[in-house]
């Protein structure tokens, strides 16, 4: 069964450093998302991406965050200057249908620890 | 804002007992989806409900969408240890493009 692949599985970074989280969505999927989950809490929307541009973003997704699809397969989330409160599990998701009809496929996540 | 409330936050049952989790929205939804997240895992899509009053079954799992399309429930009959995990509802609000997740119900089971 096709999978969404995320790397790395765990990233530890110093506060103020830049991190790039990588995702390879399922190849025929068109809509891409980043969500995050602080330990034991709910899954929070960050950003959605379609046709090489952001289609929607949350208030969490401020100027410190950016997304890119640099080469038609990878989908990256960059945090420019990490804060302690950015520590969370970051999930990439993709779907083939508009508005996520039929469900999202999530990757296994990147656990980001900011120290 | 667009929020969906999910209760209970935690549920502990004896193996073989039933389990239900509920989601509520103050506004009408386009659809609602349900996901399961095993401990240490990622959300996995279970099902989508679109129509008013819709009921869908997957083996021991029964999913319902309210008549007003503002609430939904997931019921598990005769729980098994493999049902352990957190169950999330995820709502698609009318006019929106992304899923909004409920807080999740963490199910633990005593064998």
Interface of B with A (CB under 8 A): 30-31, 33, 41-45, 47-48, 88, 90, 92, 96-104
Give how far A83 is from chain B: nearest CA, Å: 23
Task: Say what the pLDDT of residue A18 is.
Answer: 98
pLDDT in tens, B35-78: 999 999 999 999 999 999 999 999 999 999 999 999 999 999 99
Residues near A78 by Cβ (< 8 Å), separated by ≥ 6? Answer: A18, A19, A20, A21, A65, A66, A67, A68
Nearest CA in chain A to B40: A108
Question: B88 to chain A: which residues are within 8 Å by CB?
Answer: 42-43
The tens-digit pLDDT sequence of chain A (115 residues) is 789 999 999 999 999 999 999 999 998 898 999 999 998 888 999 999 998 899 999 999 999 999 999 887 899 999 999 999 999 999 999 998 777 678 999 999 999 999 9
Task: Say what the pLDDT of residue A96 is.
Answer: 86
Chain B interface includes A103 (CB < 8 A): yes
Task: Say what the pLDDT of residue A40 is.
Answer: 82
Average pLDDT of chain B is: 96
Residue B85 has pLDDT above 70, yes or no: yes
Burial annotation A58-84 (CB, 10 A radius, 16+ → b, else e): bebbeeebebebeeeeebbbebeebee
Give how far A17 is from chain B: nearest CA, Å: 26
Task: Say what the pLDDT of residue B2 is.
Answer: 86
Closest by Cα among B56, B99, B19 to B7 = B19
Confidence band for B90, pLDDT divided at 50, 70 and 90: very high
Query: CA B44 to CA B50: how far, in whole Å?
Result: 18
Chain B interface includes A42 (CB < 8 A): yes
Percent of chain B with pLDDT strictly greater than 90: 93
* CB-CB under 8 Å, B48 with A102: yes
Task: Say what the pLDDT of residue A90 is.
Answer: 98
Is omega for the bond preceding A8 within 30 degrees of 0, making it cis?
A: yes
CB pairs under 8 A between A and B: 56
Picking from B45, B92, B103, the nearest residue to A99 by CB comes out as B92
Query: CA A34 to CA A47: how far, in whole Å?
Result: 5
Beta bridge partners of A94: A32, A105
């Amino acid at each position: 069964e096709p999978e969404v692949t995320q790397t790395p599985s765990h990233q530890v970074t110093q506060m103020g450093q830049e991190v790039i989280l990588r995702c390879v969505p399922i190849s025929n999927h068109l809509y891409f998302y980043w969500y995050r989950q602080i330990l034991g809490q709910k899954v929070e929307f960050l950003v959605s991406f379609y046709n090489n541009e952001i289609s929607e973003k949350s208030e969490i997704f401020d100027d410190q965050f950016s997304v890119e699809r640099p080469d038609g397969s990878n989908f990256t989330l960059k945090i420019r200057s990490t804060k302690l409160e950015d520590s969370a599990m970051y999930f990439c998701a993709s779907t083939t249908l508009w508005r996520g009809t039929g469900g999202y496929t999530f990757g296994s996540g990147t656990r980001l620890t900011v120290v | 804002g667009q929020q969906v409330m999910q209760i209970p936050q935690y549920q502990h049952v004896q193996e073989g007992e039933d389990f239900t989790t509920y989601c509520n929205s103050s506004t009408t939804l386009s659809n609602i989806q349900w996901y399961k997240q095993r401990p240490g895992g990622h959300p996995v899509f279970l099902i989508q409900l679109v129509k008013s009053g819709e009921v869908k079954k997957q083996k021991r799992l029964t999913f319902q969408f309210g008549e007003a399309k503002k609430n939904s429930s997931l019921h598990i009959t005769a729980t098994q240890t493999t049902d352990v995990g957190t169950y999330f509802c995820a709502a698609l609000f009318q006019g929106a493009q992304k899923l909004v997740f409920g807080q999740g119900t963490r199910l633990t089971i005593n064998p």
